[in-house]
Structure 1
Amino acid sequence: MMEPSFYAEIIQASLNPFVCFELVKDNNNKVIDGIYKDLNPAYECLIGMNKDALLGKKVTEISESINLKTIQFLKASEKAKKNDKTDYYFELKKQFYRIQIFSFEKEYTAISYTESTTELLQKNIAQEDLKQTENQLSLILDSTEEAICGIDLNGRCTFLNLNCMKLLGIKEESEMVGQPIFNHLIKDSLSTEETTVKQDILNKLIGKQPCQSNEIYFIRMDGTLYPVEYFVKPKTSNGTLLGGILTFADMTKRKAEQAEINHLMFHDPLTGSFNHIKFEKLKVACDNEKNLPLSIIMGDVNGLRRINQHYGHYEGDQLLKAITTILRESIPKNGYIARYGEDEFSILLPNTDSSQVSWHIEKIQDAIREYNDQISKDQAAINLALGSETKCTMDYDIQKMINKAQDYMDKQKMLNRDSMRNILLTSIKTTLLVRSKFTEEHAERLVTLSKSVGKKMKLSPCQMDELALLAELHDVGKIGIDDAILNKPGKLTDGEMAEMKKHSFIGYQIIKSIEGLADIALPILHHHERSDGKGYPDGLTRHDIPLLSRIISVVDAYDAMTQDRPYRKAMTQEEAIVEIKKNSGTQFDPEVVRFFLESIEEILKE
């Protein structure tokens, strides 16, 4: 074995520059400098300085032209294992050198310089630059939030970044490279057809045009779907199309945020139902031939402001939520509920006629009664006024339909038991009961019979309400007739009869003066008209007589015939029916009589 001095003699005699350093490290054990420990004459010639001027000096104390590169070599030695060597290339004084770095004893590093050809150096530098460029590109691709992959002209994956691997649910790039990326793209998450995404993208690439879309889904390896937005740019070299670069962005979060924005834009935050803005859009969307008959129900919460003041806004909010739940459970799935205002709701019902609307309103009212029966005394009860209207042809303007429903709703609101108007009506009814032979039982029978006929005739819910009110108030004008005439037990004289006939006009004036009851004022005025024109006060004939008046005329006559009077005994139901039939077409409207007879037949069977 040769002595160490023998190696030193060889190094000193070598024509290749050689230098040895003691490494200088910081507190983190990182190399920051080097101290010259030994060097040969060839190295002195290389840098133009003698050995005595260098030994014991730090690299950073020597000429800046060489120390920067030398420091880089020393730092590189940290990566080298003991006695391993690493090759670098270096240019100095127009000469290219192959640099070999030797690391030993952890504290020392030696550098050897070997002359090299220009071609070899340039090739190495190019390789290093390429490697550095690839590393930088890889770093950029992996740090972006977007998923990026390359494709060839057959749609096979050529590379992909980390986020693309995550999106696909793979751990190794090799799992996807060389595989068709289009197998993982579909246009619709619910589509069962073969995807057309591949052809869309390749057509654009062939035309060397960028392509983008936000309507596709990315299929992960486990079969789950992600909504993505993609952009494809053709990849060319010297004018030759090689493939494309696909960039994907996961739209899951963005779609969820957009969905939340859309929900807040078109929904009432308290009840979750549609808001007024959405209702206006639905109104336009539903206004077409295929949705006829189209109906609407308008609802107004009576006394909401008073509830908020008395019970607090929390209780008022809970009441609105309860009403929304009742409405949802009481209408068909194709109906649309909107909170139209602070205390108003609107319901659009496509393909729903007036009789179906009546049924839905009854269901709502039944649910409200059930709710009110279950609440405690400390809770506010639901009092909801409802109005509806139906359009059967496109000639009927939908806004007019809505306005009509609101008018009916307002009338219902007015008749709320807590309103001053209702107190007035109650007072009028009480006076009528006291001053005439009109009884509560008679009123109840008329209301029941009238509603039965109204249902047969498929009257709207609002007409049904008016009919029930007319049944109670049609004789209200009798409170203006003298008691002697009104309660006379025997037959009236001609003069007394003329006086009695004034009651229809008196009733008309009384009801007309009460705001919101104008629609039953005329039916009260004409409830003694006859189809043959021999009635009073105006001698109107059949279709000129208000429909509600024609109905009350038949119902009132039947009830009068089947009840005892001071001057005669009551007829049997069968006898009264015969009498009604006998006067059909003269005193009574034949159409109303037909529906009345159907109703009576059902009632008698019960």
Structure 2
Amino acid sequence: MSKEYLMNKVKDIIILTDNNGNILDINKQALNIGKYKKEQLVNSKVKYLFSKDFKEPSKVKKKDNANHSDKKDNICFITMEGEIIPVEIDISPIKNSFDESLGNVIVAQDMRIVKMLQQEALENKRSRDRLYYLSYHDSLTGLYNRGYFEDYMVNFDREKYPLCGFIICDMDNLKLVNDTLGHQEGDEIIIQCAKAINESIISEGIVARIGGDEFAVLIQCVDREEFDSNYYNIKTSIDKYNEGMPKIPISMSIGTACDDRNFLPIDLFKEADDNMYRNKLKQSYETKKVMVNSIKRALISRDYVDGGHVDRIKFICEEMGKQMNLSRQQIKNLRLLSKYHDIGKVGVPESILYKPDKLSYNELVEVRRHCEIGYRISKTTPKLQVISELILKHHERWDGNGYPLGLKREEIPIECRIMAVADAYDVMTSGRPYKVAKSHEEALKEILDESGKQFDPSVVDVFKNIFCEKLFIEKEHSIICS
């Protein structure tokens, strides 16, 4: 019972043989792996269970040491169905108290299980290493994280260097980038910022990402000149990146503080952080202006309907605004709206903007987001704040079936109702990647057909009257009347 219990508790293949290599007993694991029945194997030759590299126990050369053990690699266990299973063999003699050989015990370890366990151990080690790494590092940039930075700030050696300093860098308008171009573009800018800062530091210290758009550098240096070199290196690196005319340039507000070892690091950190926020307030207007101009450039480079589209609808809107006795401010708003109404398209994937076929339902939903994206851009830009509501509502319909708010009739600003007619006319006569351009007469007929549905009837009447009196033509990229 003891022998049976032990043999069947072990997960390896165990076979007992006599001195002639005949099987005396075999454990359940071997039977299960090989899909044999015990009666099939008892008294048969053990060599038939293994590949030709297997050496029978009866032919194992005897050694002087009475309790020797032979290990064999590159041997396979053969199942009832002919499957080949790699095993490692260990053969040990069984002797009685008179040192007489009674047979052998063969232990075969399934190498598949060994490899699986080894792989699991390796994966576990990798997971532990990864968790350890992430406990101190930012997963996106590879820089140290806030937790590690704070520990380092408290515990670093103050006596090693005469000066300690901080450089705090906060990215400008990251939320605007995320809201317009998407988080993938935002992440790419974060990565480029991290790279620029990290490669600029020439002194001993650490660089960490301590917030979504904020980086901190702790520097231990010899003198103020060395500290300043790190600061100017960062500025130079950012300028060099922006000179390459990326789609969205890097804009950062930077604050610094540096002093001798008599100052607590936490006090210097707070001073640098305060200086950074002062700089951010000073340059807020300029950074937003640069960002909007960059988004505008991105829009021009991507917008498949540009080619004079803005100039043409601007002219049409102005003419209609004058005929409808709009105020000077309303006409000024129409000019701005003509120029920036589609600024939110920078947030629409190029694969959709340039798609030559008709858009699917999901793609239409994606395109329609441009009104809300444009609204968010304009709300953060002083120059465009006055038309932010118009950008949001310029695709509403007279009958209430427009987007994104489903406004109807006079709920829609008059500027948007005028824009709707002017934009539709120019789009129809200019064409789309999946639509052939219509003639003047075809476009006018479609606008008249949509009067009271898509368009305000009074606006359509004004458009019709102007259209019949004047011929719109394009010449040398500007619209004139003749």
TM-score, structure 1 length as denominator? 0.30
TM-score, structure 2 length as denominator? 0.37
Structure with larger Rg: 1
